[in-house]
Amino acid sequence: MYYVVTGAAGFIGSNLVRALNERGESDIIAVDNLTRADKFLNLADCEIADFIDKHDFLAQLTAGEFEGALEAVLHQGACSDTMETDGRYMMENNFRYSVALLDYCQEEEVPLLYASSASVYGAGTVFREAREFEAPLNIYGYSKFLFDQVVRRRLPDADSQIAGFRYFNVYGPNEAHKGRMASVAFHFFNQFRAEGRVRLFQGWDGYADGEQKRDFVSVEDVIEVNMHFLERPTLSGIFNLGTGRAQTFNDVAVATVNACRRAEGQAPLTLAELRAQNMIEYVAFPDALKGKYQSYTEADNSMLRRAGYTAPLLTVEEGVARYCEYLLSK
């Protein structure tokens, strides 16, 4: 029996493959699109049974080649570019592909764990898994929102597990290939190592410089939640996956710079001290993001906790420091 991980060479997908390996599983079918060939590096230290292109996999699946052979599908594959303007591509890649997987998994009674997104909430201020709080700002968010609606309609009559996770702002190892869509922690780290400073957005939307707030969640916690549900196939639903704690971009910048300073034997500095020494600078808020940007997110984790996940989730100070240590080791 095989585990399938779509988006397996990507950020969260490759971390899931590694987590399965750590649990003794190597019968893993890695599914992805390697048009960006350098993504293979994320899987170079993993054990898998096969790698299949995402289009070939869907064709083989619908042809019945995996009938009775799948333990579970962990569906992470998607275009996550919030600035993508090709709506036809986004809907085909993110929505239609996901519906086809859902259809198959329900027909064959295979558990499906999939990646949704906090982008479904748009500019709202309540982040609870209910329709009245959902209003995506871009086509990426809409593609995730629309699939969640399909899942909601299917859940009452589902024949096997369907668990969707609305990821908030995830950061951690294996995201370098994402380019500008990589986390702010990744970008801050590279800016500071290259220039001795980091750049944040100036104030906008009622927030002071660098004070926009997001729920930043470590990929370590994302993987642990996925494993919690994988090991409990009776748990189904759509769940927020964040820390439940909004922190500022300034917090991320301070944590990143101080982690780098600590590695060089230097004392930590406060935000005010970092600003005074020009280690933190602010740039104009981009016009292209106005009206399409979430200035505040904070997961309501009540449903996740009711599903039995009780472990604490890393703060920015804890998680970013660990991530920087990892990056420095590489």
Handedness of CA 304, 310, 315, 320 (dihedral sign): negative
Q: Which residues pair with 329 in a beta bridge?
A: none
Q: Which residues are catalytic?
A: 140, 178
* Token pair listed for 317: 């100070």
Residue 207 sits at φ, ψ, to 5 deg, of -110, 145
Secondary structure of the chain: what % helix, strand, coil (to 5)? 45, 20, 35
* Token pair listed for 123: 């500019």
Q: Provide Rg for the chain, Cα atoms.
A: 20
Residue type, 183: S
Q: Which residues pair with 237 in a beta bridge?
A: 163
What's the Cα-to-Cα distance from 174 to each of 158, 171, 186, 227, rounded to whole Å? 34, 9, 10, 18
Which candidate, 176, 143, 161, places its Cα nearest to that of 72? 161
| Helix/strand/coil (H/E/C) assignment for every residue in 97-163 | HHHHHHHHHHHHCCCEEEEEEHHHHCCCCCCCCCHHHCCCCCHHHHHHHHHHHHHHHHHHHCCCCEE
Which candidate, 18, 40, 41, places its Cα nearest to that of 28? 18
Count each helix (H run) and each strand (E run) in the chain, helices first: 11, 13
Please state, in angstroms and rounded to a whole number, the distance separating the CA atoms of residues 74 and 209: 38
